[in-house]
Amino acid sequence: MTMGEQSGPPESLRLLDAAFDAGVNFFDSAEMYPVPQRAETHGRSEELVGRWLRARRVPRDSVVLATKMTWIRGGPVALDSRNITEAIDSSLRRLGVDYIDLYQIHWPDRYVPMFGETDYDPSRQYASIPMEEQLEALGKGVESGKIRYIGLSNETPYGLMKFLQLSVDFQLRSKILTVQNSYNLLCRNFDAGLAECCHHERISLLAYSPMAMGILSGKYHSSDDSGPPDARMNLFKGRYSEGESRYNLQNPKLESAVKEYRRIGVKYGISPSILAVAFVLRHPLVGSAVFGATKLWQLEEVLQATRVHLCEEILAEIDDVHARYPSPCP
């Protein structure tokens, strides 16, 4: 989601090359990317992935392409059948492929607490497109061969279970495979309700933001400054509401938690970034950790986490910190 804004075309293509050469085969984008979302730039990330696929001549069956739809056509007009159909066709065109492996609803059409909100407020509910209409449109995408599987994102336990219940009527139950929600050391809300749903319904979590937008690297809370000027939270300060509303760098509990997790890493000789990603990957319900890197050294560090095993002592210390500072970034 940084490709096309924070990372230009040359850097983006180098990162994709390096990731693919290292064995990464799952690539996730969205029609609204890059962030911060702007009308002038939406779709650039998909276009760069498509450009890379063609330039590298990547065999289509060697990668799993995922993307997501939002309500960007003409503004927030809703995820109705027409918009879903148009979004699928537009993503296929930008990616330059015949089909999308995993097509996801970026976030619910209905009101739900998101991006730092935790409490459900019934008075904020509004008229939304029925899930049945969304499923019917997605089903047509599956029948036409344009998409192969369906995923949800930023969903609640109610939303996931309701989609699964209704999907039976459209013969789509076996096609819904994933939910992409935030999950990291600073946001473990998934474990409170969604985890049980996913376990029993055989739904995998695609854990996005495993490093909490880079905060868990410790770069924003070093002793001498507030992080590099080209770091996302500094570069787009005041322009990235979705990130800033969840990851409030002035939150003292967040800062304390980050310092405690960093202390654990130092104690066991593991960098904070590797500790953060390894923690996510060890979760039995995680199908993949969805991360973004803007520099090659960041990518290389994240990939090291796939070779790190967190022992019971480390996990116990992590849980102790979580008990004292439970999910400061919901």
Active site residues: 33
> Whose structure tokens read 């004292």?
324
CB 262 within 8 A of CB 321: no
CB 157 within 8 A of CB 193: yes
User: How crowded is residue 154: how many other Cβ atoms within 10 Å of its Cβ?
Assistant: 20
Question: At 104, is the secondary structure helix, strand, or coil?
Answer: strand
Name residue 3's beta-bridge partners.
7
- Torsion of Cα atoms, 247 then 194 then 63 then 85, to 10°: -90
Which residues of the chain form beta strands (DSSP E)?
26-28, 64-69, 100-105, 147-153, 176-182, 204-208, 286-290
Choose among 117, 98, 33: nearest CA to 69.
33
Burial annotation 196-205 (CB, 10 A radius, 16+ → b, else e): ebbeeeebeb
Cis amide bond preceding 36, omega within 30: yes
CB 14 within 8 A of CB 221: no
Q: How far apart are CA 106 and CA 33, in angstroms?
A: 11
